[in-house]
Amino acid sequence: MENLSRRKALTLGVALGIVGAAAPVPAWASAGSTAGTGALTGAGAGAAAGPGPEWIWDEAADPLMARMIDGGHVPAINRAWEKWVNNNDPIPGGLPSDFAAYLAQANHLPSWADQAKLQRAADFNRRRDTYLFMLYGLGSGIMSTVIPREAKSVYWSAGGADMQDRAAKTFTFGYDLSQLGAFKPTGQFVVTANKTRVVHAAVRHLLPQSPHWKAVADESIPISAADILVTFHSLGTYVHQKLLEWRIPYPAADQEAFLHMWQVAIHLLGVPYEHIPKTWAEARAQSQQVLTPILTPSTEGIALAEDLLGLTAQIDLGVTRGFLNEFVRYVLSDQVGDWLGLRRDYAAAALVRTAWPAFILFREGLSPVMPGTFYMFDQFIRAIAMLFLNKGSSGTTTPITIPIGNRAG
Ligand code: HEM
């Protein structure tokens, strides 16, 4: 039985491009252990003999947010930080003093952040935005619905009731992360990441009060550092592997910069440095251990996927829903497509599988032959990009707000 599920996980991993020939290694590597000699999951022998990341939440933000919610301060915080957008904006006035003190302490880059690498990553993001939009949006976005803990917590939190709004906020994260000056004082990503960290802390206090979530959850507090690492693999590690698989020109320095950007991002979300993979090889091995085997459908995830894919129906993608379903199958495997009940369209499937690689070759200047489907793909990509670039309803500000309750039912 164990072999069977391991085999299934491997097959799925190969399809997702996140399983290689790497030898099995412990799931969670320890402090700076690029060799992956760290702790085994839950063995309590993690970094510096501390707990593994599944036992780490957020010591700084969690108790604070519990106090803010119980004390009724959240609406005032949401109002006060609406205009707090740029990394070098002063901490806004009108915040409870302990909350302001927390933000002042949390809202800066870690000492190991390397501006040159971050700049290179930003430039890479700009040059590769086409593929990144497609992969984050249709790959990682839909993959999140078959990560059961994520799907269940997203579904039963307040934001689950309005996926359009939630997706817009999540896209804000990707958008701000991908901007040229994202990590510079005039950029916006440090603020966006800190808002997100605070939202996660709020969710850790709120969701355990939801009878619906409690009925389906397999953990008592959501969004551990381990859960965040799993999500990182569904974003960064997955996209990295797909770019390699698609043979997009991707020099080693860009690969390193892209990893560095993600390392800083997940650290800003509260994951301790020692638990963050130090190389793509380590990330890939960890992903193979902690992401691929847990992918599975759930009632909540199926509903979320339908919501997300339905969202795209509101804009003209220049392609049919059948084509969209098949593109998702192409980037995530038929296994995932079947789990989510994505209706088959075999003509579209054949088109995606032959024309997409030709489209990439042409775009990258690796083939002089422009595929007849070029404009269709081009329009498709533009439409998906619009979802990112619209940045939700507010346009210019970062619309992330702290929830004060859960989804009702
Ligand atoms: C909220 C990003 C990991 C569950 C958010 C928001 C962003 C975000 C931008 C704010 C937007 C919103 O309110 O919807 C990320 C990133 C992650 C990550 C980049 C990792 C790299 C996780 C994980 C879980 C999770 C691991 C659960 C297992 C949630 C929930 C909300 C949220 C429940 C609140 C939605 C609401 O407003 O009700 N996340 N997240 N996130 N996230 Fe995450």
Question: b vs e for 284-321, b when ≥16 Cβ sit within 10 Å of the residue's Cβ?
Answer: bbbbbbbbbbebebbebbbbbbebbbeebeeeebebeb
State the distance from the centre of ligand 1 to the C-alpha of 28, rounded, in angstroms: 21
Mind listing the pLDDT tens digit for each residue in 22-53? 444 456 654 443 333 333 333 333 445 588 99
pLDDT above 70 coverage of the chain, percent: 84
Q: Whose CA is nearest to atom 38 of ligand 1?
A: 159
CA 149 to ligand 1: nearest atom? 28
CA 195 to ligand 1: nearest atom? 10
Q: What average pLDDT does this structure show over 303-321?
A: 82
- According to DSSP, residue 237 is labeled I
The 10 Å Cβ neighbour count of residue 389 is 12
CA 173 to ligand 1: nearest atom? 9
Mind listing the pLDDT tens digit for each residue in 79-125? 999 989 999 999 999 999 999 999 999 999 999 999 999 999 999 99
Mind listing the pLDDT tens digit for each residue in 134-154? 999 899 999 999 999 999 999
Contact 77, 401 (CB under 8 A): no
State the distance from the centre of ligand 1 to the C-alpha of 228, rounded, in angstroms: 9
Task: Supply 57's token pair.
Answer: 């939440």
Q: Write out residues with Cβ below 6 Å of ligand 1.
A: 149-150, 153-154, 157-159, 166, 169-170, 173, 196, 199-200, 203, 222-223, 227-228, 231-232, 235, 266, 269, 400, 403
Measure Cα distances from 341 to 21, 204, 321, 344, 347 in Å: 31, 31, 13, 9, 18
Q: pLDDT-based confidence at 13, cuts 50/70/90?
A: low
Q: 303 versus 172: which is more confidently predicted?
A: 303
Residues β-bridged to residue 157: 406
Q: What average pLDDT does this structure show over 362-368?
A: 91
State the distance from the centre of ligand 1 to the C-alpha of 347, rounded, in angstroms: 36
Helix 189-206 / helix 97-106 crossing angle, nearest 10 deg: 130
Residues β-bridged to residue 356: none
Q: What is the pLDDT of residue 150?
A: 95
ipTM of the complex: 0.98
Q: Which of 243, 348, 347, 295 is nearest to 10 (CA)?
A: 295
For ligand 1, pick from 178, 212, 228 the residue to mutate: most ligand atoms within 8 Å of CB: 228
Q: Whose CA is nearest to atom 22 of ligand 1?
A: 228
State the distance from the centre of ligand 1 to the C-alpha of 94, rounded, in angstroms: 25
Q: What is the pLDDT of residue 264?
A: 98
Measure Cα distances from 49 to 4, 35, 226 in Å: 33, 17, 16
3 state SS of 92: coil
3 state SS of 122: helix
Q: pLDDT-based confidence at 16, cuts 50/70/90?
A: low
Q: Whose CA is nearest to atom 9 of ligand 1?
A: 170
Q: From CA 79, how far away is CA 98, in angstroms rounded?
A: 17
Element (H, E) at 16: helix 2-16
Q: From CA 289, how far away is CA 336, in angstroms rounded?
A: 18
Task: Supply 281's token pair.
Answer: 């090889």
Q: From CA 100, how far away is CA 309, in angstroms rounded?
A: 38
Q: What is the pLDDT of residue 227?
A: 97
Q: 347 versus 173: which is more confidently predicted?
A: 347
Contact 62, 201 (CB under 8 A): yes
Q: Does pLDDT of 3 surpass 90?
A: no
State the distance from the centre of ligand 1 to the C-alpha of 66, rounded, in angstroms: 17
Q: From CA 124, how far away is CA 73, in angstroms rounded?
A: 40
Q: What is the pLDDT of residue 167?
A: 74
For the chain, the average pLDDT equals 87
Q: What average pLDDT does this structure show over 64-69?
A: 98
Q: From CA 204, how far away is CA 272, in angstroms rounded?
A: 18
Q: What average pLDDT does this structure show over 219-238?
A: 97
Q: pLDDT-based confidence at 15, cuts 50/70/90?
A: low
Q: pLDDT-based confidence at 371, cuts 50/70/90?
A: confident
For ligand 1, pick from 145, 203, 206 the residue to mutate: most ligand atoms within 8 Å of CB: 203
Q: What average pLDDT does this structure show over 61-76?
A: 98
Contact 293, 335 (CB under 8 A): no
Q: Does pLDDT of 59 surpass 80?
A: yes
State the distance from the centre of ligand 1 to the C-alpha of 80, rounded, in angstroms: 21
Residues β-bridged to residue 406: 157
CA 407 to ligand 1: nearest atom? 38
Q: What does R_g of the chain's alpha carbons equal in angstroms?
A: 21
Measure Cα distances from 19 to 9, 141, 221, 258, 335 in Å: 9, 19, 29, 19, 15
Q: From CA 319, how far away is CA 192, in angstroms rounded?
A: 33
Q: Whose CA is nearest to atom 14 of ligand 1?
A: 166
Q: Which residues contact 4 (CB under 8 A, 6 or more apart)?
A: none
Q: What is the pLDDT of residue 390?
A: 63
Q: 310 versus 66: which is more confidently predicted?
A: 66
CA 202 to ligand 1: nearest atom? 34
CA 236 to ligand 1: nearest atom? 21
Q: Whose CA is nearest to atom 18 of ligand 1?
A: 228
Q: Does pLDDT of 393 surpass 80?
A: no
CA 158 to ligand 1: nearest atom? 38
Q: Which residues contact 46 (CB under 8 A, 6 or more apart)?
A: 28, 30, 38, 39, 52, 53, 274, 275
Q: pLDDT-based confidence at 10, cuts 50/70/90?
A: low
